[in-house]
Amino acid sequence: MSEASPETAYEGPLPAVTNLNAPHWEALREHRLVAPHCDTCGRAWLPPGPWCPSCWSRAFRWAELSGRGTVTSLVRFHQQYYRSGPFQVPYAVAEVTLEEGPRLYGQLVQAEPEVGLAVEVCYDDVSEDLTLARFRPRGWEDSR
Ligand SMILES: [Zn+2]
């Protein structure tokens, strides 16, 4: 979505990358959205964790998600907590229920915030080392 540049250095919160969630953050840098998928019951989940929240199996593999989902909740920020980066107020952070089931939070861009909005993931390279998942209306690029 955007290229990192020195003039707009990212000053927002940083993820706590661990052995458990590193594949998720590495995939985002490659503009892919992945999640653990249970080998026993097939469920996908986020945030990454050591076992399936549905059947408690510890057997899972990382697999790509469609990135498509629906806004199920949102918060619109009017207070500016960070001086630069993608946090110019007002902005909305949405809870998106992905088609595969997991819920993911991300900034909603290029849209008026609305519960029920069909969205797709887009990627914001906020620095050389960090890419954040954001959401935009589905088919947005095609409708321009
Ligand atoms: Zn399971």
pLDDT in tens, 33-70: 999 999 999 999 999 999 999 999 999 999 999 999 99
Domain count, the chain: 1
| Beta carbons of 10 and 83 less than 8 angstroms apart | no
Distance from residue 46's CA to the centre of ligand 1 (Å): 13
Residue 121 has which token pair?
């993931």
Identify the pLDDT of residue 144: 42
Q: Which domain holds residue 107?
A: 16-143
Q: What is the CA radius of gyration of the chain?
A: 16
Distance from residue 82's CA to the centre of ligand 1 (Å): 39
Distance from residue 45's CA to the centre of ligand 1 (Å): 9
Identify the pLDDT of residue 98: 98
Q: How far apart are CA 109 and CA 115, in angstroms?
A: 14
Residue-wise pLDDT tens for the chain (144 aa)?
A: 555 444 567 888 889 999 999 999 999 999 999 999 999 999 999 999 999 999 999 999 999 999 999 999 999 999 888 776 667 888 899 999 999 999 999 999 988 889 999 999 999 998 899 999 999 999 876 544
Q: How far apart are CA 125 and CA 1, in angstroms?
A: 7
Residue 114 lies in a domain: yes
Residue 3 lies in a domain: no
Ion ligand 1 — residues with CB < 5 Å: 38, 40-41, 43, 52, 54-55, 57
Residue 1 lies in a domain: no
Residue 42 has which token pair?
């097939």
